[in-house]
Amino acid sequence: MSENLQCTDTLHSRGFRVTPQRMVILRILQEADTHLNPTEVYQRAQHAMPGLTEATVYRTLAFLTDQGMVLAAHIGSGQLVYEIAGHAHHHLICRACGYTLEIEHELLAELYRLFKVSTGYQIDSLHTTFFGLCPECQAPELNNVA
Amino acid sequence: MSENLQCTDTLHSRGFRVTPQRMVILRILQEADTHLNPTEVYQRAQHAMPGLTEATVYRTLAFLTDQGMVLAAHIGSGQLVYEIAGHAHHHLICRACGYTLEIEHELLAELYRLFKVSTGYQIDSLHTTFFGLCPECQAPELNNVA
DNA sequence: TTCGCTATTGTAACTAGTTGCAATAAAGAG
DNA sequence: CTCTTTATTGCAACTAGTTACAATAGCGAA
Ligand SMILES: [Mn+2]
Ligand SMILES: [Mn+2]
Ligand SMILES: [Zn+2]
Ligand SMILES: [Zn+2]
């Protein structure tokens, strides 16, 4: 709830308007316990606000992402998914089984410092996705052993 | 040219077919000096092979990416772009001016080792994009000084 | 409260990307 | 070279995402 007031103030202070559409979408993301794609957000938004359109969902998700209130991520398969911006983290996804692991941003802090000193770029990506193989899917062919 | 023979052999050995469509698209990427999006690949392919369809371009780019012969990347704005898989590298993109820097994969090697020891995941992302601000765009308001 | 400005929304047309299915054509066997 | 198998393509219908523009509605000022 206080998060909502926080967002309201932030929007006001930046000269943007606080609309019911934005509040509804923000609340949906706050109450979600996973990443949601735009269609899922749209479907949930229909309950709270029947008139709201898909175009607005897409626009609002992009807007809230620009404002830093929402995080977006490409998780394989080209689809963008969203979540409320809380703790800074990234994702490791297994190409074989799809299992996803969350990792603390702190693990990337040193890399970002390295970027800064070697290139001057101040990187701020807070929701990067890395692909590879999880421990199980790396396992040597267990069937060969038997 | 030898790269083409290499790809041909690899496809054969994996049980896939070597089609003119695949060869045309592969050559287009080999001759390109930048990332290309699917539409750009399609347009260039039209010259060499008028009958080729957009659906095939999308499918072929995804296929070649799966085979590790092509690298894909999300560079802001949702569009996927492709390039021939050569040296392993990643990108730093400025959110303000869009200027893009290529960085050697070696800079990420330590991070990937860290992922392995702390999570067991063997990460192999070879074309990751990081966003932030380039040195120029970080500059304190120069107008204030005057 | 009322008014005016203009950011934001809904609409609808548009572009981008995906997919089921039948036709085509690689490529190995004979 | 011819035949057979089946991976791949083209087609066309579909889903996903974007955008121009006019209508709506925040919100600051009076
Ligand atoms: Mn996340
Ligand atoms: Mn690249
Ligand atoms: Zn796995
Ligand atoms: Zn810049």
- pLDDT, one tens digit per residue, over B83-111 is 999 999 999 999 988 899 999 999 999 99
Can you give the pTM of this predicted structure?
Answer: 0.91
Please state, as a whole number, how many other Cβ atoms lie within 10 Å of the Cβ of residue A69.
19
- pLDDT, one tens digit per residue, over B54-68 is 999 999 999 999 999
Using pLDDT thresholds of 50, 70 and 90, give the confidence band for residue A93: very high
Measured CA B136 to C1' D26 distance, in angstroms = 36
Contact flag, residue B21 CB and nucleic strand D, below 7 A: yes
The helix (run of H) or strand (run of E) holding residue A122 is strand A122-123
pLDDT, position B1: 55
Whether residues A107 and B114 touch (CB distance < 8 A) is answered with yes
In this structure, what token pair is assigned to residue B24? 């045309």
- Find which of A82, A103, A118, A130 to mutate to test the B interface (most B CBs within 10 Å of its CB): A130
**Cα→Cα distances A32→A28, A40, A99, A117, A142, Å:** 6, 10, 19, 38, 38
Do A135 and B120 touch, CB atoms closer than 8 A?
yes
Q: Round to whole Å and give the CA distance between A121 and A49.
A: 42
pLDDT, position A141: 61
Measured CA B62 to C1' C24 distance, in angstroms = 21
Using H for helix, E for strand and C for coil, what is the string for B14-39?
A: CCCCCCHHHHHHHHHHHHCCCCECHH
Tell me the residue length of chain A.
146
Residue A24: CA count within 13 A, CB half-sphere: 19
B105-111 contact pairs (CB < 8 A, 24+): B107/A111, B107/A114, B107/A115, B107/A118, B108/A111, B110/A110, B110/A111, B111/A107, B111/A108, B111/A110, B111/A111
Rounded to 10°, the helix A20-31/A38-48 angle is 110
In this structure, what token pair is assigned to residue B137? 């765009």
Using pLDDT thresholds of 50, 70 and 90, give the confidence band for residue A133: very high
pLDDT, position B51: 95
Q: Which residues have beta carbons under 5 A from ligand 4 (an ion)?
A: B 94, 96-97, 99, 134, 137
Beta bridge partners of B122: A133
pLDDT, position A15: 96
Domains of chain B: 1-86 (1.10.10.10), 87-146 (3.30.1490.190)
Do B76 and B94 touch, CB atoms closer than 8 A?
no
